[in-house]
Structure 1
Amino acid sequence: MSAACNHLTVQPSELSFPFKLKKQSSCSLMLANNTDQHVAFKVKTTNPKKYCVRPNSGFLLPGDSTCNVTVTMQAQKKAPLDLQCKDKFLIQSVVVSKRIADKDDITAENFDKAAGNLVREFKLRVVYVHANQPLSVVEGSKEEEEEEEEEEGSSSSRAAVVVALKEKEEYAIQRQELDPEIDRNNGGGGGGSFSMMFVIFI
């Protein structure tokens, strides 16, 4: 969806940012010259610390020339309630002299209404949209996976200890059951035990 402000056509008519916690998000604007004259533009916002606009000013040659403007929202630590945003952008445009050959030639005086300049303005609102996979969810999943791996590792260690104890207990029980039989077979004496060992050795 596009909108016209006499000098320029602005597409889209609002800035939509996929909102992701702790991650930058960008969207683009396309400005098109509707006149047969040189038109300078400037992009302003109500929250300049939050957004980076490149380029934030420039000029367009006559004959449907266009300019792409990228607006980047800095990483946000908190999500606003219901993802509602009150930030707004303002695009100002004014016809300038043909002598302007570079955006550095454009000054604040060009947009001074008091000086008699015919400045056109177009306002854009900011809209946050739900991202497919917010960073907070991804980070949470990674942390949960790490915790699960640690739990699995500790569970495996505990299981190994339990198995070893059970084996030791079974060995002790078997030993208790076998010792009387060995004593009976060998007459209950130490010599019998030695004879038994000697027979086994042979």
Structure 2
Amino acid sequence: MATELLQIDSPELRFVFELKKQSSALVQLGNNTDHYIAFKVKTTSPKKYCVRPNIGIVKPNEKCDFTVTMQAQRIAPPDMHCKDKFLIQSTVVPFGTTEADITYDMFAKDSGKFIEEKKLRVVLISPTSSPVLLPVNGYMKQDPSYEIDAQKDRVPSGVENIPPLRTVSEEVKGLEPIQHEKEDRAEGDIVPRQTENVVDTKPAKDDVQMNLVNESEELKSKLSTMDSKLREAALTITNLNEERRRNMEEKDLLKKELEVLKRALNTKGTQGGFPFLFVCMVALVSVAVGYYIHP
């Protein structure tokens, strides 16, 4: 295309570097076209940086910001030279496209679509030189009058350990997408890249560890509650079994007592005088004799 899809306010990401402290930089993208533009941010050091958001949509004649946060570092690089780089890919998408509609295939070069790529390098600034920066909304905005020695900050070629790719320039080889990007491509279409030394960006290590500790404590609490309920259930089952055993014993005792009573009644019936049938027969004979005697 004859015109640029996105304009970037600065070709560099400047961070005020202090040991064991995070630093952030704000990047502004401008869309001067009449199209919807989708963008995606990649980096050569995903474990070191966190990008929010790393994908997005810039509407026609509007601007969009994203923030890059460098995690706290324990060791300063030699001479404050940083070899990290960022790549911003952009492409035209249909009118009305949202961030939820962005897929990995939109930025695939083999799709035949025009993909614009712009590279940003990282520049570290020591706190002693921070007067040339102006704080804006918690970030450091660069003074326009400040000039960078391009020859001093230039990264030597051949030191990034980035594997060659046939479809991109030597300056952006080996860049991998950040972990938080939304990829809707089918699993079978993804080609593993075992030779690349870059992986997706992740949240701060301390935050991840804190989340793991909280989840572990929550699981322990749930397990303790379940164990207490199981013990209560076992005790209830034991009590019910004991009650059932006592009821069975009482039932057997009542049966025995009933049999004793039945035997006692039968014994009394046989020992208490003549049987009832004998008495009836004697009565009938007496009636017959009386009838014949006194007709």
Which TM-score applies when normalising by structure 1?
0.61
2:34 corresponding residue in structure 1: 36
1:130 corresponding residue in structure 2: 126
Equivalent residues in 2 for 1:130-169, closer than 5 Å = 130-132=126-128
CA RMSD of aligned residues (A): 1.6
> What SS does the corresponding residue of 2:67 show, helix, strand or coil?
strand
Gaps spanning 5+ residues in structure 2: where?
131-295
Q: For 1:67 and 1:133, how far apart are their aligned partners in 2?
A: 29
- Does 2:94 correspond to 1:97? yes
Question: Percent sequence identity over matched residues?
Answer: 53
> What SS does the corresponding residue of 1:30 show, helix, strand or coil?
strand
Aligned length: 128
- Does 2:104 correspond to 1:108? yes
Q: Does the 8 A contact of 2:36 with 2:96 survive in 1?
A: no
- Residues 55-94 of structure 1: CA deviation (Å, up to 9, x unaligned): 10101111x2101111000000000100000000000000
1:19 corresponding residue in structure 2: 17
The alpha-carbon deviation at position 99 of structure 1 amounts to 3.9
1:69 corresponding residue in structure 2: 66
The structure with the largest alpha-carbon Rg is 2
> What SS does the corresponding residue of 1:40 show, helix, strand or coil?
strand
Q: For 1:12 and 1:118, how far apart are their aligned partners in 2?
A: 23
The alpha-carbon deviation at position 133 of structure 1 amounts to 9.3
The alpha-carbon deviation at position 49 of structure 1 amounts to 0.7
> What SS does the corresponding residue of 2:40 show, helix, strand or coil?
strand
For CA contacts below 8 A with separation 6 or more, give which structure has more relative contact order: 1
> What SS does the corresponding residue of 2:39 show, helix, strand or coil?
strand
> What SS does the corresponding residue of 1:114 show, helix, strand or coil?
helix
Inter-CA distance 38–108: structure 2 relative to 1 (3 Å threshold): same
Q: Does the 8 A contact of 2:39 with 2:56 survive in 1?
A: yes
Which TM-score applies when normalising by structure 2?
0.42
1:117 corresponding residue in structure 2: 113
Q: For 1:70 and 1:99, how far apart are their aligned partners in 2?
A: 24
Equivalent residues in 2 for 1:161-200, closer than 5 Å = none
> What SS does the corresponding residue of 2:69 show, helix, strand or coil?
strand
1:83 corresponding residue in structure 2: 80
Residue identity opposite 2:22 in structure 1: Q
2:58 corresponding residue in structure 1: 60
Gaps spanning 5+ residues in structure 1: where?
135-202
Residue identity opposite 1:26 in structure 2: S
Residue identity opposite 2:42 in structure 1: K
Inter-CA distance 80–11: structure 2 relative to 1 (3 Å threshold): same
Q: For 2:23 and 2:104, how far apart are their aligned partners in 1?
A: 29
The alpha-carbon deviation at position 121 of structure 1 amounts to 0.3
